[in-house]
Structure 1
């Protein structure tokens, strides 16, 4: 510790073997000189609450160097702020948070998150088309009322689905930024998500999406599906109803995932993060064999990387006379399993939705034979319904 003067600054050198060193002032407690391999800077240290904070005052050498006298005066001001419980570094972070734009937050999420191609396309569509005029806008200026106005605008054109999708994207980007942008104590710097607590204000009775529900008349539904062209939609619906898989799991299948000789296909990176093997009934296997004849020369089960079922499903629902979503086929599979007397834990294993509820669940072996038997029973029940007279 010594009195820091211009001479001390000029003669200060870095000890051999060190990356940095400090000379602390003997006159003004907290004032110091930091010596690096290629730099010398004035610093000030002080306690804010129960934590020690250090802040750079300015360069001691070089084109932007300040004098020792000026550095000492700035140190006195900063030490006074420390004494009042003010952390200048925290204020700087707060200012940075106020300036981060939606586009910057979006790019920040892309850097730190592994998004699937379909999810990334959804994000880009929302940012580039629904929120294009907000891209250069600081997040801190977007209010709940701004979001409500935008939601209702999107809901009017192109529709509710786009509005809900945009809400999901904005919410995910905002929450990711807020979680990772914190002050020195770990508290979020960015304020709460503007899409939160606005659901009731943006949702009118006509906007409430229909609840997921099983297909009531399976015979009538499959009769409609059989008339759809091209015929691959018929195979798609059959496989969905006979396996209970999620729409996205089926429509992105590749032949590498399918083992026709042993009658199963594997799902990777599922919704719950677990890999899942789906066993085929004889009817389901026949549907895959038909698809192999048509698309076996391509890497993809449906002839393309993704089979978009949105339009054909809408058409089928319209002909059927009741609005349904692809997920309703999964609900129908579960209802069929219950009707067939399949045990609840077996049903959950089939749809990759297993949740342990008791100690005995740890010892249950819901293996391949049990699952194969269950899917065959469910498929046979579907066929029985198709043959039944009205």
Structure 2
């Protein structure tokens, strides 16, 4: 291995070999050298770590001046003298580098109990709203980046969306931080500290008693699939995804119950069917053409997914603007007006009684809910009649 005082001029004059590599050692600093290939010249540092030779690349000669590279080599050689292997540390750092994309994937792998709906929402946050961050290391995301991205999403996609995306990122960051050493504090904290969360107003809309006759008339003019879907949502108070994913194997027409094995909060739910809804589902069952879904659809899932078009048709036909969640609110509002007990209301909505010791002792099964469900159905059928 030839020796050479590595100066700018000497480095520039070193010829490129026709093939292979040639290593030049610096005469000023032992362990510092230049590796010359057919098209490259690269500075390196070489030393012993635990009696093993280690060579560390410093950088290209057209980027680093020899004086700068020599100083870097001195630092690296000092680390080696202390028994530290810079190459091993680089490999370790690379292994521990967790990008935003990796963090979300690991979060899903660890949280096996997350519902498909929740996973879908988190994925949407990562892949759509945080797309520019996906390849960035989690540690790189700082407070100012969070503030800027939160404001940007809120302005373009809506304030509620901006809040939800940052809640998702906060959860994934907390999970990642718990599995990594020396992780910075969660940068989403800035939204609380700066009081920068957007104010959210809980939607309070329902299909009112005044509007229900017109709404009902428009629904009854719909094709069977959309008519029955909307009536099922209204007469059960079920969430949109729960109605969409309802399977015939979970509908017991003889016992007049339906079972939801997977719900938003993770708890299974069995609900009684009112006489009206049991008759409606029995007619659908007779017309069923072999699909396992109560509301089949043309897409890859096999069940109904698109509801926007028929919601708009009913809104236009009735003059009543509504969402599917408004039907859930309408159901429970009617139930409350009939003095249905508090714990029965919570069970009908499948809301947990967290922190409520008394609620933990009360068992509200499907049969206990049958009378309230029939009362609500009877009231809906009364309200849908036009008033003189």
Residue 191 of structure 2 corresponds to which residue in structure 1?
197
Match of 1:186 in 2: none
Q: Distance in 1 between matches of 2:202 and 2:351?
A: 23
Question: Which portions of structure 1, spanning 4 or more consecutive aligned residues, are displaced by more than 6 angstroms?
Answer: 70-73, 94-98
Counterpart of 2:6 in structure 1 is none
Matched, 1:219 2:213: yes
CA–CA distance in 1 between the matches of 2:154 and 2:287? 40
> Counterpart in 2 of 1:39?
none
> How far does residue 161 in structure 1 lie from its aligned partner after superposition?
6.3
| Counterparts of 2:166 and 2:283, CA distance in 1 | 40
The correspondence of residues 296-335 of structure 1 with structure 2, limited to 5 A, is 296-303=289-296, 304-317=302-315, 320-321=318-319, 323-335=321-333
The Cα shift of 1:277 comes to 0.6
The normalised TM-score by structure 2 is 0.65
Post-superposition offset of 1:379: 0.4
The separation in 2 between residues aligned to 1:165 and 1:294, in whole angstroms, is 41
Gaps of 5+ in 1: 1-56, 78-90, 184-188
Deviations 1:94-120 (A, max 9, x none): 978995321221222233223444444
How many Å separate the matches in 2 of 1:71 and 1:156?
A: 50
Structure 1 equivalent of residue 280 of structure 2? 287
Q: Cα offset for 1:141?
A: 2.7
Normalising by structure 1, we get a TM-score of 0.65
2:241 maps to 248
- Spell out, residue by residue over 1:369-390, the C-alpha distance to the aligned partner (whole angstroms, 9 max, x if none): 4321221111011111122514
Paired positions, count: 305
Alpha-carbon distance change, 262 to 211 in structure 1, aligned in 2, over 3 angstroms: same
Distance 1:164 1:358, change over 3 A: closer
Aligned position for 2:107: 109
How far the C-alpha of 1:323 sits from its partner, in A, is: 4.4
| 2:259 match: secondary structure | strand
In structure 2, distance between residues paired with 1:315 and 1:202: 35
Trace 1:1-390 onto structure 2 (pairs within 5 A).
Answer: 59=50, 74=82, 99-114=97-112, 115-157=114-156, 163-164=162-163, 166-183=165-182, 189-194=183-188, 197=191, 201=196, 203=198, 211-217=203-209, 218-227=212-221, 229-303=222-296, 304-317=302-315, 320-321=318-319, 323-353=321-351, 355=353, 357=356, 359=358, 362=361, 366-387=364-385, 389-390=387-388
1:155 positional shift: 4.4
Match of 1:29 in 2: none
Aligned-partner SS, 1:265: strand
Q: CA deviation at 1:348?
A: 2.3
Q: Distance in 2 between matches of 1:247 and 1:190?
A: 39
Using the TM superposition, give the Cα deviation of residue 219 of structure 1 relative to its aligned residue in structure 2, in angstroms. 2.4
The alpha-carbon deviation at position 294 of structure 1 amounts to 4.1
- Give secondary structure in 1 for the equivalent of 2:82: helix
CA 1:136 to 1:270, structure 2 compared with 1: closer, same or farther past 3 Å?
A: same
CA distance in 2 between partners of 1:209 and 1:323 (Å): 18
Output the CA distance in 2 between the equivalents of 1:209 and 1:359.
30
| 1:147-169 Cα distance to aligned partner (Å, 9 max, x none) | 34334444454555654553344
User: Matched residues in 2 for 1:382 and 1:200: separation?
Assistant: 43
Paired residue secondary structure (2:384): helix
Note the alpha carbon deviations across 1:128-147, whole angstroms, 9 max, x for none: 33322221212233234333
State whether residues 150 and 162 of structure 2, in contact with CA within 8 Å, keep that contact through their aligned partners in structure 1.
yes
1:243 shift after superposition: 1.4
Structure 1 position 322, deviation (Å): 5.2
Could you say which residue in structure 2 is the equivalent of 1:30? none
Maintained 8 Å contact 1:98/1:138: no
Assess, with a 3 A threshold, how the Cα gap between structure 1 residues 179 and 324 changes in structure 2: closer, same or farther: farther
Alignment partner of 2:246: what SS? Answer: coil
